Amino acid sequence: MLTDDPTIAELNQRYLDRTGPTNVIAFPMHEGPYADVNPHLLGDVVISTETAHRQAQEAGLTAHDMLDRLLVHGILHLVGCDHERSQEERHRMEQKEQEVIRALRDEEDPLNRGDVREVQ
């Protein structure tokens, strides 16, 4: 879900007891009392587009690149990575993020291939 700073700040306070906006929050579905409802559903990723835009400018990235990075970061949280556990886990998660981003960038975009026919 893409949202704004006030909405993600509210979620951050309500669910993580943290003040202010953040760039991304992941809500895993395999935890808590309803974890068995759908074991194939990883969960939800919420990204603040306002914070993402600011961070992209600070990092010299496009907003699109930053949104990609934050989505990958959130998904890694959904599959159990947590950079707040330890420095080792932070390093492992950063490496995995870079690996996934590189893989995404190397994939050929099917919409730019010459053999895709226009749907009529």
What is the Cα–Cα distance from 46 to 25, expressed in whole angstroms? 5
pLDDT digits (tens, 9 = 90+) for 28-63: 988 777 778 887 889 999 999 999 999 999 999 999
> What percentage of residues in the chain have a pLDDT greater than 70?
88
Confidence of residue 115 (pLDDT cuts 50, 70, 90): very low
What is the Cα–Cα distance from 117 to 111, expressed in whole angstroms? 9
Range of lowest pLDDT (16-30, 71-85, 102-116): 102-116
For domain 2-107, which CATH number applies: 2.40.40.20, 3.40.390.30, 3.40.50.1110, 3.10.20.600? Answer: 3.40.390.30
Instruction: Tell whether the model's pLDDT for residue 68 goes beyond 80.
Output: yes
Domain ranges of the chain: 2-107
For residue 35, what pLDDT is reported?
78
pTM over 0.85: no
Determine the angle formed by the axes of helices 63-78 and 87-106, rounding to 10 degrees: 130
What is the Cα–Cα distance from 9 to 21, expressed in whole angstroms? 4
